[in-house]
Amino acid sequence: MADLKYVGTSVTRKDAVEKVTGQAKFIEDLYIGPMLYAKMKKSSVAHGKIINIDTSKAEAHPGVKAILTGKDYKNRIGLYLIDRSIIAVDKVRFYGEPVAVVAADSEKAAAEAVELIEVEYEELPAVFDPREGMKPDAPLVHEDLENYDIVPIFYPKPGTNIANHFKLRKGDIDKGFEEADHVIEREYYVPQMQHVPIETHKAAAHWSPDGKLTVWSTAQSPNVVRQLLAKCFEMPMHKIRVISNFIGGGFGCKAGASIEGLVVPLAMKFPGYVVRIVFSREEDMQGTFTRQALFSKLKTGIRKDGRITALQYEMIWDGGAYTEYGVNIVRAAGYSSSGAYDIPNVKTDSYCVYTNNSIGGPVRGFGMCEMQWGIERQIEAIAEELGMDPLEVRLINGMKKGSTTAAGQVVHDVDFEKCLKTVTDKIGWGKKEGKFRGKGIAGLVKCPAQPSNAASSAIIRINEDGTAHVLVGGSEMGQGMLTAMSQIAAEGLHIPTDRIEIRVPDTDFTPYDWQSVGSRVTYTSGRAVKQAAEDALGQIYRVASDLLEVPAEELTFDGKHVYSTKDPEVKATIREVADSCKKCTGEGIAGPIIGRGSFVPTNMTNLDPETGQGNPGLFYCFGATAVEVEVDPETGVIKILQLAASIDAGKAVNPQLCTVQLHGGTIMGLSTALFEEVRFDKGVMLNNNFTDYKIASIDNTPHIDSFIIETPESGGPYGARGIGEQPMIGVAPAIANAVCDALGVEFNTFPLTPERVWEAIKKKQAKG
């Protein structure tokens, strides 16, 4: 690859100054016009028929403008399975589900009015455990499942709570077990977690009498919000404008459409007003996506030499009350079910089951943390059974160039071995350092989980002075998308990043991008931006060619001047090319330069409904995590002594931001490994605040040694691939594996709280 000038450099974030000076505008920071404040009345039962809603007292409360209930929201909404009511109609399916919404002239009045709404329920039998929920006689969460619209790559079972059954059959599972010398069976459990971005979900809507709806949202995907609102409210897309300002963290919870629909009908009642809803921390935790809990069973066949010959994987996911998005997590975990390993015979059944818990949905990793927890713990059990080094088992079975995934997709551009060895070398693998100390490793892989037609596009406008505007539809939630895209544009345009402007998306002005999810934007939007930059550069050469009367092929552009490679004195400034577009005679040559780029994957396919075989991955990103721990046997407290993380970025567009992302994902993984578990009691979330739901803070975050590996991605822009989610995946199993190495105890679940570790130690001591 030719020398790169901008891609691969650590330029300062585009949003840096705004963010450190308090000037970055998040949506609650905007004053758009006269405002009404919305608050929800939430369900106080997990599953119940709504017998009556009495809003009369609330309506009489001073400051109240309007109260709407489910009957005012006639259509359902959803991304893949259209199962979700914006406000409950006839029945509620989870504790905290909206049953009414109030608009008032102050937040206080709205909150007071909510308390005055009286709702009468007839409680229904409920399901809180998906293993119970999938049984034929379980109470149904959705009686109408068979009538729901659905993208036809999902397989619900009407008359049950199974919203999707993903089947995968690779090779010959019976033959695989026959070839095995050992068979290992284990069960695992991963609890719900919450994303807890420090900015909660927020949305505002404005309706103008000409029929134009404007929505401001903390959405990771303004285009999908527009698409889903258009369908739900039966409006054409050009009449809906969705703006995502800076987002205070997403991690998946702000993907798809979340709370925007709540305020739309209220805005329609009060043209000229901006109706805004801001979720409290409690509402955010109970009422928005949680990570789906997973109950799993693994059965693995292995030969004496360490080769895995067969894998049977059953996954039962707690989809919660609505699984409009969750059905695809279940699918993604299914088609990826051999993790980072090449296993010839795989049989997987992955079930998404409705329960009356909070709504399940996407979280950083999109099922991979949960699914690969089982894989990476199972490999540890295999190593133990065979008396082999767990690193060796991973190296023997790890994917290499030409390996096939569980879906049978051939992977290219892989150096998993390097990912593993880099981190194990760093922590001094193989050396036992002390009685209560242990080392652990986990591999990881993830491809974006996106529809095969999920597209991105870009427009580049060259200004009259030769500076440029890059327009893309991705959201900036901290991942550094604006900066990375400006670097890719700079590389293609030859215009330096400090002469390029790029802003947050606005569907009326920025071109289409499906969603900022799945670690896909660097690749997909990057491809579109690169194409747009090349298109604009071609136009610069064509205009300059006319202006200078030199063939375009002879021209080169250094960011300031376009000049002839044969005679550098024959030149024009970019300003002359971009602005005058005229010859000295005054005749015009060309209008303003506008570059365009659009991208859709061509290497993905649908999957066979019976075997799950096909090409679901746009690209595969590998990595590894290694840790050394010391456990206090008296208290069960785990101390992280070393933590090393590697990720194969293909090409780090911005090495500094890539490293921050790698650290951030590793810390989120650490936080879930040690602290995080949402606790429900019959659907009621018991720990819906930061005191009861602890996340990692600076004082319990160790130093991380991070390694960016660069095995170029052949389809990626300048060889780059996305890495946003991946660093999280390996942390929990690596820590558990290290604790097992230290103490010889096993864990089938996490977080590894002191209590849980202490109990495991006591149990082992009791056994002698």
Give contact residues for another protein (rule: CB under 8 A). 10, 12-13, 15-26, 28-29, 31, 195-200, 246-251, 280-281, 477-480, 656-657, 660-661, 663-668, 671, 689-691, 695-699, 701, 703-704
Q: Which is nearer to another protein, 239 or 503 (CB)?
A: 503
CA 250 to centroid of chain Cα atoms: 8
Cβ atoms 443, 394 nearer than 8 A:
yes
CB nearer to another protein: give 565 or 689: 689
Q: How far is the CB of 16 from another protein (least distance, A)?
A: 4
How many angstroms separate the CA atoms of 100 and 583, rounded?
Answer: 66
Cβ closest to another protein, residue 474 vs residue 664: 664
Nearest to 320 by CA among 92, 42, 79, 69: 92
Give the residues across from 298 on adjacent strands.
Answer: 186, 313
Sheet of 705-709, strand order: 437-446, 621-631, 638-648, 705-709
In the complex with another protein, which residue's Cβ is closer, 162 or 667? 667
Min separation Cβ 192 and another protein, Å: 17
Q: How far is the CB of 736 from another protein (least distance, A)?
A: 20
> Least Å distance between CB 516 and another protein?
12
Distance CA 49, CA 98 (A): 14
Nearer to another protein, 298 or 363 (CB): 363
Is the Cβ of residue 198 or residue 584 nearer to another protein in the bound state? 198
- Identity of the residue, 261 or 665, whose beta carbon is nearer to another protein in the bound complex: 665
Report yes or no: 504 and 277 within 8 Å, Cβ to Cβ: no
**Comparison of 318 and 476: residue with beta carbon closer to another protein:** 476
Nearer to another protein, 196 or 315 (CB): 196
In the complex with another protein, which residue's Cβ is closer, 10 or 748? 10
- Closest CB 217 distance from another protein, rounded Å: 15
d(CA 28, CA 553): 51
Shortest separation between residue 673's beta carbon and another protein, angstroms: 13
Smallest gap from Cβ 664 to another protein, in A, equals: 4
Spatial strand order in the sheet of 346-354:
162-170, 346-354, 308-320, 294-302, 182-190
**Structure tokens that stand for 467 in this block:** 């500076």
Shortest spacing between CB 198 and another protein, in angstroms:
4
Give the separation between CA 271 and CA 431, rounded to whole angstroms. Answer: 70
The shares of helix, strand and coil residues in the chain, as percent rounded to the nearest 5, are 30, 25, 45
Nearest CB to another protein, comparing residues 247 and 386: 247
Q: What's the min distance (Å) between Cβ of 60 and another protein?
A: 18
| Distance linking the first and last C-alpha atoms of the chain | 60
Instruction: State the nearest-atom distance from the C-beta of 668 to another protein, in Å.
Output: 6
* Strand arrangement, sheet containing 468-472: 500-502, 468-472, 456-462, 594-599
**C-alpha dihedral sign at 755, 760, 762, 763:** positive
The strand ranges marked E within 107-220 are 118-123, 162-170, 182-190, 202-208, 212-217
Cα separation of 190 and 747, whole Å? Answer: 11
Based on CB atoms, which residue is closest to another protein, 463 or 656? 656
Q: Tell me whether residue 127 or residue 670 sits nearer to another protein (CB atom).
A: 670
- Residue 707 belongs to what H/E stretch? strand 705-709
Measuring CA to CA, how many Å separate 585 from each of 266, 569, 580?
A: 59, 21, 12
Beta-strand relationship, 437-446 and 48-54: unpaired
Report how far residue 65's alpha carbon sits from residue 105's, in angstroms, rounded to the nearest whole number: 7
Least Å distance, CB 171 to another protein, is 39
List Cβ neighbours of 44 (8 Å cut-off, separation of 6 or more): 95, 119, 121
Given a contact cutoff of 8 angstroms between Cβ atoms, the answer to whether 322 and 411 are in contact is no
Q: How many helices (H) and strands (E) does the chain have?
A: 18, 30
User: Are 473 and 223 in contact, with CB atoms under 8 Å apart?
Assistant: yes
